[in-house]
Amino acid sequence: MNASQIELVCPAGSLPALKTAIDHGADCVYLGFKDATNARNFSGLNFDPPQMREGIAYAHARGKKVLLALNTYPQTGNWASWIQAIDRAAEFGLDALILADPGLMAYATKTHPQLRLHLSVQGSATSYEAINYYRERFGIQRAVLPRVLSMAQVESVIANTSVEIEVFGFGGLCVMVEGRCALSAYATGESPNCNGACSPGKFVRWEDTPRGMETRLNGILIDRFAEGERAGYPTLCKGRFEVNDETYYALEEPTSLNTLELLPELARIGIRAIKIEGRQRSPAYVAQVTKVWRAALDKLKSGGADAFSVLPSWMAELNKVSEGQSHTLGAYYRPWK
């Protein structure tokens, strides 16, 4: 595998973000409808059908691909909305569907056999046995890996499946296995799996108190910030809690995943696509991150792995848009675990 075959997959939470991503060098963008059928169901975000048609036309005119995230789990009563979304995807000419639910995959395979299917990270497939199940059963052509595996484990997955492997390169970091986390459901009743959002904004309260700025999720205190501390969004796994009389980020710090320095190694083991997280982020974020990753991929392609080095300016640009202005290699770095 060489770097020229690695696709850069960028987030498009809106039409301006989509155009920005394409203009700055994305090979593919991924997006969702304005409803619970995708895992970034936030108000003011995502596409209605006319916007989606316009976005697809914009991308296709420039030789780029558009992937539709339909990566939440429908229930009996709302099943029809997801089916409608799949039918629309076929009609609109999207380049692939990103699905998590096997029932939906069965529908897509049967009704629209021409549709290319990707297994969403929400499908929680962490081994080649799991990925090959979806391959054999539904013919999926790509799987997005949860952010839990080491480099050697990713390499082993690639060696044992014909399914293309996509990994997260940059952006907000889930510390839990995607698709296997009910923390938000426990605190608020709404989950990424079924409602398409973690720690939804409507449950968030910011309160300036004599003790400091407090952030709450459905009444539960997630963190408290002293004067001068930058108060972050109360994503519930990134708060400070008390364990045995010690107060600390017990689950995870507010930080972003950044695997830029691992790019040559990821290319060597044969990953086919790098995903940038952040459909909820601004077009400015999309521009910044896409530009840096495009430059890095191009440098790897032209100079090869031996000549590749991460420019300090790239890291500086990326850190500016990182959550908490810091970054981690996540599970690729053993001590992180």
Partner 1 sequence: MKLALGPLLYYWPRQSVLDFYAGIAESSVNSVYLGETVCSRRHELRLEDWLEVGAVLAAAGKEVVMSSQGLIESESDLKVLRRIVRQAATGQPGFRVEANDMGAVRLLGAAGITNWVAGPTLNIFNPATLQLMMDAGATRWAVAPEMSGAALAEVRAALAAPIETEVFAYGRLPLAHSARCFTARHFNLQKDSCEFRCLSIMDGIALSTREGEPFLTLNGVQTQSARVHNLLGDLPTVMPHAEVLRISPQGSHTPAIIELFRKVVDGDLSPSAALDASRELMVEAPCNGFWHGRAGVEQYIAA
Task: Return the amino acid letter for 21.
Answer: A
- Chain residues 140-199 in contact with partner 1, contact rule CB under 8 A: 147-150, 153, 156, 175-177, 179-183, 185-189, 191, 193-194
Q: x-or-dash pattern for partner 1, window 224-253, by CB under 8 A?
A: x------------x--xxxxx-xx--xxx-
Question: Is 233 in contact with 213 (CB distance < 8 Å)?
Answer: no
Pick the closer one to partner 1 by CB: 14 or 122: 122
Least Å distance between CB 332 and partner 1?
10
Go through 119-152 and write b for each residue having 16 or more CB atoms within 10 A of its CB, e for each that does not.
Answer: bbbbbbbbebebbbbbbeebebbbbbbbbbbebe
Distance CA 236, CA 190 (A): 13
Closest listed residue to residue 239, CA positions, set 181, 179, 183, 177 = 183
Q: Report phi then psi at 36, rounded to 5.
A: -75, 5
# chain residues binding partner 1, by CB under 8 A? 70
Pick the closer one to partner 1 by CB: 248 or 305: 248
Least Å distance between CB 268 and partner 1?
19
Binding flag, residue 206, partner 1 (CB under 8 A) = no
Binding flag, residue 221, partner 1 (CB under 8 A) = yes
- Binds partner 1 (CB under 8 A): choice among 30, 134, 293, 308: 134
- Chain residues 292-311 in contact with partner 1, contact rule CB under 8 A: none
Q: Report phi then psi at 72, rounded to 5.
A: -110, 175
Binding flag, residue 209, partner 1 (CB under 8 A) = no
Pick the closer one to partner 1 by CB: 58 or 233: 233
Binding flag, residue 98, partner 1 (CB under 8 A) = no
Beta bridge mates, 274: 8, 167
In this structure, the strands spanning 142-144 and 241-243 are unpaired
Binding flag, residue 89, partner 1 (CB under 8 A) = no
Binding flag, residue 127, partner 1 (CB under 8 A) = yes
Closest listed residue to residue 166, CA positions, set 89, 32, 259, 34 = 259
Stretch that binds partner 1, among 54-62, 84-92, 128-136, 296-304 (CB under 8 A): 128-136
Could you tell me where the DSSP H helices lie in 37-150?
49-61, 79-92, 102-111, 128-138
Say whether 310 sits in a helix, a strand or coil: coil
Task: Return the amino acid letter for 188.
Answer: T
Cβ count within 10 A of residue 200: 20
- 28 assigned binding-site residue: no
- 237 assigned binding-site residue: yes
Pick the closer one to partner 1 by CB: 201 or 303: 201
Say whether 125 sits in a helix, a strand or coil: coil
- Binds partner 1 (CB under 8 A): choice among 1, 57, 106, 284: 106
C-alpha distance from residue 257 to each of 47, 164, 173, 283, 286 (Å): 26, 21, 5, 19, 15
Least Å distance between CB 60 and partner 1?
31
- 181 assigned binding-site residue: yes
- Contacts with partner 1, residue ranges (CB under 8 A): 73-77, 79, 100-104, 106-107, 123-130, 132-134, 136-137, 147-150, 153, 156, 175-177, 179-183, 185-189, 191, 193-194, 218, 220-224, 237, 240-244, 246-247, 250-252, 331, 334-337
Residues making up the annotated binding site are 174, 181, 198, 237
Show binding-site residues for [4Fe-4S] cluster. Answer: 174, 181, 198, 237
